[in-house]
């Protein structure tokens, strides 16, 4: 019974983190792209994420909260190994939260400062998350080569979030900003693909166990659709974005669907590689789990909390769906 409870919480934590990456990924991406727009377009970009951005971070709180209460041993090792980049990530999230509110009320000569702060906070948070992913895969060993690899993954995640953000702007905007978003998405797509490829190649190389999971028969045949689908989605996304740029297509949803699909496919591949370990090659999820009695109590709480968050998220997106309009704080 205890193993099943631990597995349920592992699945819930994975779901929360995947939803966070997709939802907060696009609004971080909008912040990353903010410096490329003119003043009026910046206001529209902020308006496109205004009703959603703060609530999107709820999923990060839920995911880390499950890690803390359901897998306390893993929480200590992971957060201990990533203490510095976690600090930078939190600093970035705080900075963008403050900037989001202050830019609206700031005097005209100070508004560019808060726009820059929102961009910097988004960039810092996104890069820190990618850096953490790289160090997590490599086992928290801070050698020069590992730090360089983690830095490249950080840049790849910045590009991935920029792809999500630009694709979101295609859904929410029109006119010149729509056209610029298509160019931003096309430019971000290829570095995103390189980042996914780097993670996919590095993960089997750091562990013989993971290598055997991917490259022995019959697993090699059964798992081939994951990288093949990933490559196909990248090519399909690039093709559609070229059509948008050429004016031959106006459908806004395919790039965002492709961007989300890329993150889901990458997440599936990484989860398959690492399972059943929460700390790579060191600590399995069942070894890190809290006592069964604690998990039973927490499961009752999650049974109430998770549906509430899902309902609120779905409701807010339903209410604020459609093209963005300018935000007003009167």
165 within some domain: yes
Helix or strand (DSSP H, E) at 277: strand 277-279
Cα separation, 254 vs 239, whole angstroms:
10
Cα separation, 230 vs 19, whole angstroms:
19
326 within some domain: no
Q: What is the DSSP string of 231-263?
A: HHHHHHHHHHHHHHHHTS----HHHHHHHHHHH
Burial 74-108 (b: 16+ CB within 10 A, else e): bbebbeebbeebbebbeebbebbeebbeebeeeee
Structural domain total, the chain: 1
Helix or strand (DSSP H, E) at 1: none
CB 162 within 8 A of CB 119: no
146: domain range?
2-319
What is the reported pTM?
Answer: 0.93
Burial 228-255 (b: 16+ CB within 10 A, else e): eebeebbeebbebbeebeeeeeeebebb
120 within some domain: yes
325 within some domain: no
Each of the 330 residues of the chain gets a pLDDT tens digit; together they read 568 899 999 999 999 999 999 999 999 999 999 998 888 888 889 988 888 888 888 899 999 999 999 999 999 899 888 999 999 999 999 999 899 888 877 777 788 899 999 999 999 999 999 999 999 998 888 889 899 999 999 999 999 999 999 999 999 988 889 999 999 999 999 999 999 998 888 888 888 888 888 888 888 888 889 999 999 999 999 999 999 888 777 778 899 999 999 999 999 999 999 999 999 888 999 999 998 888 998 898 888 889 999 998 899 888 888 787 766 655
327 within some domain: no
266 within some domain: yes
Question: Token match 């193993």: residue?
Answer: 3
């Amino acid at each position: 019974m205890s193993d099943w409870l631990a597995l349920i919480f592992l699945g819930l934590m994975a779901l929360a983190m995947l939803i966070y990456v997709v939802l907060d990924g696009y609004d971080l991406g909008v912040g990353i792209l903010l410096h490329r727009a003119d003043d009026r377009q910046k206001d529209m970009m902020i308006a496109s994420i205004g009703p959603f951005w703060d609530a999107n971070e709820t999923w990060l709180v839920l995911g880390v909260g499950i890690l803390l209460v359901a897998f306390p041993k893993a929480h200590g090792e992971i957060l201990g190994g990533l203490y510095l980049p976690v600090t930078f990530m939190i600093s970035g999230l705080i900075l963008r939260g403050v900037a989001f509110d202050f830019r609206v009320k700031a005097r005209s000569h100070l508004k560019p400062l808060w726009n820059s702060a929102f961009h910097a906070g988004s960039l810092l948070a996104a890069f820190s998350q990618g850096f953490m992913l790289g160090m997590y895969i490599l086992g928290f060993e801070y050698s020069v080569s590992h730090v360089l690899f983690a830095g490249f993954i950080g840049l790849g995640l910045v590009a991935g979030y920029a792809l999500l953000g630009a694709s979101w702007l295609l859904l929410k905007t029109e006119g010149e900003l729509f056209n610029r978003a298509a160019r931003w998405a096309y430019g971000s797509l290829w570095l995103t693909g390189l980042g996914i490829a780097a993670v996919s190649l590095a993960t089997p190389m750091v562990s013989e166990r993971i290598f055997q999971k991917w490259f022995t028969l019959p697993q090699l045949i059964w798992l081939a659709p994951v990288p093949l689908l990933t490559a196909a989605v990248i090519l399909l996304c690039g093709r559609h974005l070229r059509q948008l740029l050429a004016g031959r297509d106006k459908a806004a949803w395919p790039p965002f669907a492709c961007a989300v699909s890329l993150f889901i496919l990458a997440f599936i591949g990484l989860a398959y590689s690492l399972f059943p370990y929460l700390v790579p090659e060191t600590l399995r999820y069942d070894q890190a789990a809290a006592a069964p009695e604690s998990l039973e109590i927490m499961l009752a709480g999650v049974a109430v909390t998770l549906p509430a968050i899902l309902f609120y998220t779905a409701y807010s997106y339903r209410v604020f769906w459609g093209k963005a309009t300018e935000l007003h704080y009167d």
